[in-house]
Amino acid sequence: MAEKTVFQKIIDREIPASIVYEDEHCLVFRDIDPQAPTHLLLIPKKPIPSLAALTAEDRAVAGHLLMMVPRIAQQLNLDAGFRVVCNCGEQAGQAVPHLHLHILAGRAFGWPPG
């Protein structure tokens, strides 16, 4: 059996995380190495390895993740704006092979991203 990712261990409560939201399909917790005053990770509970690995079967969960973004932003009062980042694959800097959306807020962000 493949070794669990760090995010799967958070889902399974094998390692601690600062969880800000949870439902049947997803989990939101604070990034351990924040790149902005607010830095959250929004993940599906289903172990989908990356955005590129989504299949038609994942349509509902993918839609749910996207729909959760403004709800989380509202819950945390990110009224001044926020950035959503999804690193997909090695060259994009994806380190954890479990689909995740970074939600960053609390400072100005440059463009293009590094």
Q: Three-state DSSP class for 26?
A: strand
CB of 18 to ligand AMP, least distance (A): 8
Region of 52-60, 69-77, 90-98, 103-111 interacting with ligand AMP (CB under 6 A): 90-98
- Judged by beta carbon, residue 14 or residue 57, the one nearer ligand AMP is 14
Query: Can you point out the beta strands (E) in the chain?
Result: 19-22, 26-30, 38-44, 83-85, 101-105
User: Active site includes 100?
Assistant: yes
CB of 61 to ligand AMP, least distance (A): 18
Q: How many CB atoms lie within 10 A of CB 73?
A: 18
Cα angle 27, 32, 36 (rounded to 5 degrees) comes to: 95
Chain residues that interact with ligand AMP, rule: CB under 6 A:
6, 15, 17, 31-33, 41, 87, 93-96
